[in-house]
Structure 1
Amino acid sequence: MNLPGIFITIEGVEGAGKSTAIAGVAEWFGAHGREVDCTREPGGTPIAEAIRQLLLNPVEEDLVPLTELMLMFAARAQHVAGRIKPGLAAGKVVISDRFTDSSRAYQGAGRGLDRSLIETLAQAAEQGVSPDLTLLLDLPVDIGMKRAAARRGACAHDRFERERHDFFERVRAGFLELARQSSRFALIDAAAPIVDVQTQIQTVLAARFPQGGVNCG
């Protein structure tokens, strides 16, 4: 049986627990016999990973918001063409740590860049691909920042982790506004204990993709 590919994205502010959630989603689909490809943004292909280094690693020259936005979508275009579309065409469940909604929240709500420009770039870079489901892991910014700091330990902050509290509040508000606007989103209480978060996610998956997506339409 040729199963349709499924594209799932995981979104949220820093410290929301995306990596753990992705592992749980992959395990759930794997238990239903689906082939899974877990990827990330920015990144996912060699060229996109090289762009990731430019985006995340602090350098002497400031990266202006418009440059940041354009690099994000350059990486996304490469990611879609080189990994996401081929994976979906092969019938895989592609699970991405972030996608275009992160640009809407971080560069749009967070940086204040023009939303119509973001949508124009999205239409070009996504190449007709859009998520079947977006899991938004939501939690208060204070909790997320504490979790991220505990996870990071003595490691250096990347460019985004160095942002101020009010920046992440705008990002969180941007994500929540997106979730209110589209049924594609499932809002997950990421402040709950890990086992409860996984239960929430599995409940959503079972409702959206009966039998691992065999009957999804």
Structure 2
Amino acid sequence: MKTARTQVKRVPKRGHYDSETVYSVLDAGLICHVGFAVEGQPFVIPTAYGRMDNRLFIHGASASRMLKSLQQGIEVCVTVTLLDGLVLARSAMHHSMNYRSVVLFGTAELVSEREDKWQALYAFTEHVMPGRWAETREPNEQELRATTVLALPIDEASAKIRTGPPVDDAADYELPHWAGVIPLNVRAGDPIVDPQLTKGIAVPEHVERYLKLGN
């Protein structure tokens, strides 16, 4: 639902509040920025994340200041941004960017049950690289104990999306300046083999599939 915190005020027609749109942006991203304040000091920390159903997961070492702080039930703001293009207008003041973004508000919950933590780490790994979990050593008990996993319900969130060409003032369309969009995207390069990889191990199918989808 749209709330006072999530309502897009600047160019409100670009705001989206449905779960499908919000999920699509979260699922396409890899890095989120977690904003919170401790004793009046604001922090914004970039970190990887994963999503399962209506929850967004972040994780890290149990000694992490961010994770220890968020467990106390303080308010948190998480953002994800995907940059799709540079929008070059005739007027310097109308330059923009095409993007997809999500802003999420709420309080994080500690994932303490072993099975729930396991599922969260699975979701995290599969978000980073689909198909990877089955091709790795699963976490052992010591690693599980040393890792804190937090879940943030995706209940109060909005997406904001800009697409299309520049929007100039009517009087500027006749100016002799080039205008248009330069598309931007993240492309996967050729895999770089670990120097200590055992000989004879080929690039796995899920990595090959990822390379094809990304290019």
TM-score surpassing 0.5?
no
Higher strand share: 2
Higher helix share: 1
Query: Structure 2 length normalisation: TM-score?
Result: 0.26
| TM-score, with structure 1 as normaliser | 0.26
Higher relative contact order structure (alpha carbons within 8 Å, sequence separation ≥ 6): 1
Q: Which has the greater radius of gyration?
A: 2
